[in-house]
Amino acid sequence: MKFLHNFLEKIRPAETSPMYTLHNAIETFLFVPGHTTHSGAHVRDAIDLKRTMFTVIIALLPALVFGMFNAGYQHYRWLSPDLAFWTMDNLMYGAMRIMPMIAVTYIAGLSIEIYFAYINKHAVNEGFLVSGMLIPLIMPIDIPLWMVAISTAFAVLFGKEVFGGTGMNVLNPALTARAFAFFAYPTYMSGDKVWIGDSADLAQKVDGFSGATALGQYATTGTTSYSAWDAFLGFIPGSIGETSAVAILIGAAYLIYSGVGSWKIMLSGALGALTMAFIFNSVSGSMDPGPMKEYMSIPPHFHLVFGSAAFALVFMATDPVSAAHTETGKWIYGFMIGILGILIRVFNPAYPEGWMLAILLMNTLAPLVDYYVVDSNIQKRLKRAKA
Amino acid sequence: MSSNEQSKPKSGLFSKENRKLLADPFNMQNPVTVQVLGICSSLAITVKLQPAIVMGVSVLVVTAFSNLITSLLRNLIPNRIRIIVQLVVVAALVIIVDQILKAYVYDVSKQLSVFVGLIITNCILMGRIEAFALGNTPWKSFLDGIGNGAGYAVVLIVIAFIRELLGSGQLYGYQVVPTDWYLNPETGTGFYSNNGMMLLPPMALIVVAIIIWVQRSKFKDLIEK
């Protein structure tokens, strides 16, 4: 450790060069800076923003590792049935596809972040550490790398930097990247040819190949070939990190334990989703037969394990910057995300998933929710003061 | 209405002052990027270059002549009903332009649909008539109209250029991006794909924002304190 510290000290560039910004970013990433506050309380927790972000990265690791195994499993499964899941081959295949995506995301995003930090003359913020890990996890595996790079650049530039950088963004940057890719390159973000690695290749080799996700099958046929238990464990096609509810729950437990993620948003989001699914269940009886009727009558708890519900509620909705900040606001915000997520998922004719749009919509409404929560609290206290 | 404009010494047709009227709207007084007028139509009809050019020229013609006619009438219009008179002038010009488009470029006229008719509500027109034509001589007003119409047209064309190139791989309807560059999901050849977001109005807003950003970082005077 001492050696590393001395080494960083030795190569410290001049303060005016862009390399100084990069050096500063690496140094504060490795070592907690020794600054003290200039006034007021002088006791500081060692958990600064970088350490907070790192907590989220650790929470993401189970989903990431599972995603790598699953990427290989989904690909090789079509070539050899009865394939074991936890094999080195699967992991290698996934790593070879996912590692480049992560690298591309970090290079594209961090170069913009460092450039902006340099021209605005402040240290690099650590917000992108998490966004850069989230973006690959919410992309389909077959998306070309340059699309990931462009989406990331767009999200960092227009989702974050134009608002003033980390902590000022209205929208969740990772979801902004996904929304951009979704609207810009819809054929690489939806359909049944993108969720399994090398789908085009497999479609030629294997008869009866189908790369549709469980929700994709529900939307077109009203039923799925995957069981809810498989979906809970994660052995289904989908975006890289979203398939396994178990891996995500491990991350969620760590986030809640460390106090970084808000359990109120996760819980109220799940409740909102269940509520909406119950409503759909109860009205679907009077509907005309067809895939829509079937889709609406999926048992509520299925909605939480299929698609990206778990990932969205645990890692996306809880983004501390773009979520509601007041405690009551968090309940309202999470609940509305749950309601809208299922609503859009079932009724969206183009794409059978809704969490991205639901969370982005609620991101824009979060300040409004906070405003009314604070306002009602003021009114309540005024009334009490008068009485 | 300024009353003493006639008493000023007569300046040449293209004196420095008059040339400024033409040149200013291109940059420091651009109606779209600086005054943020006419945004609606610049989002709606800039998916392709051809309609954008036709729209730009139409607005240029209407601003130029509505400025000229209002300026000719400016001492006859009672102040209290001036808006109605201005509307009559603009509406008449818009209908003429619309009929001409229908007669000669019917396809484009179909694409522009209501937006030609909506030139009448374009803020640039009323803005220039109210702010300039009512208080200046016809020739100056005419130049001002041309300048502002052209300033609007230039921005429209730049937006449409970016959107058509990145969104459809074409320029003025001709394929610019080589077709064998395109990713083919069947064979796996190629590497490129059009950006579908460019075809949607929200991206036009972002393109306008980028243009404003570039312009402001080049001309620092435009940045508000």
Give B107-150 pLDDT, tens digit per residue. Answer: 888 888 788 888 888 888 888 999 999 999 999 999 999 999 99
What DSSP string runs through A52-109? Answer: HHHHHHHHHHHHHHHHHHHHHHHHHHTTSSS--SS-HHHHHHHHHHHHHHHHHHHHHH
Structural domain boundaries, residue B154: 31-210
What's the rounded Cα separation, in Å, for the pair A237 and A252? Answer: 21
Average pLDDT of the residues of chain A: 87
Nearest to B72 by CA among B58, B85, B60: B85
Q: Is A180 on the interface with B (CB under 8 A)?
A: yes
Sign of the dihedral defined by the CA atoms of residues A222, A228, A231, A232, in that order: positive
Q: Is A209 on the interface with B (CB under 8 A)?
A: no
Residue B169, by phi and psi: left (phi above 0), alpha (psi -120 to 50) or beta? left
Structural domain boundaries, residue A203: 51-377
Domain count, chain A: 1
Q: Which residue of B has its CA nearest to A193?
A: B185
| Model pLDDT, residue A54 | 86
Asked whether A218 and A293 are in contact (CB, 8 A), the reply is no
Burial label for A222, CB within 10 Å (0-12, 13-18, 19+), is middle
| SS3 state of residue B157 | helix
Q: Which residue has the tokens 């300048």?
A: B147
- Name residue B186's amino acid: E
Q: Is A331 on the interface with B (CB under 8 A)?
A: no
| Model pLDDT, residue B1 | 43
Among A120, A158, A185, most B C-beta atoms within 10 A, so best to mutate, is A185
| Model pLDDT, residue A35 | 66
Q: Is A192 on the interface with B (CB under 8 A)?
A: no
Percent residues over pLDDT 70 in chain A: 96
The angle, 0 to 180 degrees and rounded to 10, between the axes of the packed helices A355-386 and A173-184 is 140
Asked whether B176 and B165 are in contact (CB, 8 A), the reply is yes
Closest partner residue to B193 among A158, A185, A200, by Cβ?
A: A185
| Model pLDDT, residue A174 | 93
Size of interface A-B (CB pairs under 8 A): 28
- Name residue A282's amino acid: S
- In the predicted model, is pLDDT for residue A330 greater than 70? yes
For chain B, which residues score pLDDT lower than 70? 1-11, 185-186, 188
- In the predicted model, is pLDDT for residue A44 greater than 70? no
Nearest to A90 by CA among A104, A102, A80, A103: A80
What's the rounded Cα separation, in Å, for the pair A270 and A339? Answer: 9
Domain count, chain B: 1
Does residue B6 lie in a domain region? no
Nearest to A347 by CA among A259, A276, A257: A276
| Model pLDDT, residue A286 | 83
Q: Tell me which DSSP letter residue B192 carries.
A: B
Q: Identify all chain B residues contacting A361, using CB atoms and an 8 Å cutoff.
A: none
B183 and A144 within 8 Å at the Cβ level: the answer is: yes
Q: Is A163 on the interface with B (CB under 8 A)?
A: no
Distance from the Cα of A277 to chain B's closest Cα (Å) equals 31
Among A183, A192, A364, most B C-beta atoms within 10 A, so best to mutate, is A183
Count CA within 13 A, CB hemisphere, residue A21. Answer: 20
What's the rounded Cα separation, in Å, for the pair A109 and A350? Answer: 29
| Model pLDDT, residue A164 | 83
B196 and A188 within 8 Å at the Cβ level: the answer is: no
Q: Identify all chain B residues contacting A146, using CB atoms and an 8 Å cutoff.
A: 191
The four Cα atoms A363, A181, A354, B164 give a dihedral, to 10 degrees, of: 90
What's the rounded Cα separation, in Å, for the pair A223 and A217? Answer: 6
Does residue A11 lie in a domain region? no
- Give A70's pLDDT tier (boundaries 50, 70, 90): very high
Give per-residue pLDDT as tens, A91-135.
Answer: 999 999 999 999 999 999 999 988 888 888 777 777 788 899 999
- For A138, phi then psi, to 5°, come to -105, 15
Q: Identify all chain A residues contacting B186, using CB atoms and an 8 Å cutoff.
A: 200
Question: Which residue intervals of A78-198 are DSSP H helices?
Answer: 88-119, 127-137, 145-154, 173-184, 186-189
Does residue B162 lie in a domain region? yes
Nearest to B185 by CA among A363, A293, A211: A211
Give this complex's ipTM.
Answer: 0.85
Nearest to B67 by CA among B142, B151, B146: B142
Q: Identify all chain B residues contacting A187, using CB atoms and an 8 Å cutoff.
A: 185, 193
Please list, in sequence order, all residues whose beta carbon lies within 8 angstroms of the beta carbon of residue A175, skipping any fewer than 6 positions away: A138, A316, A356, A359, A360, A363
Residue A290, by phi and psi: left (phi above 0), alpha (psi -120 to 50) or beta? left
- Name residue A182's amino acid: F
| Model pLDDT, residue B3 | 46
Nearest to A237 by CA among A183, A186, A194: A194
Please list, in sequence order, all residues whose beta carbon lies within 8 angstroms of the beta carbon of residue A135, skipping any fewer than 6 positions away: A105, A109, A148, A151, A152, A155, A174, A177, A178
Does residue B11 lie in a domain region? no
Nearest to A56 by CA among A343, A381, A322, A320: A320
The four Cα atoms A263, A269, A272, A274 give a dihedral, to 10 degrees, of: -90
Q: Identify all chain B residues contacting A147, using CB atoms and an 8 Å cutoff.
A: 193
Structure token pair of residue A185: 């390159």
Asked whether A67 and A315 are in contact (CB, 8 A), the reply is no
| Model pLDDT, residue B4 | 47
Does residue A73 lie in a domain region? yes
Does residue B4 lie in a domain region? no
B185 and A144 within 8 Å at the Cβ level: the answer is: no
| Model pLDDT, residue A201 | 81
- In the predicted model, is pLDDT for residue A137 greater than 60? yes
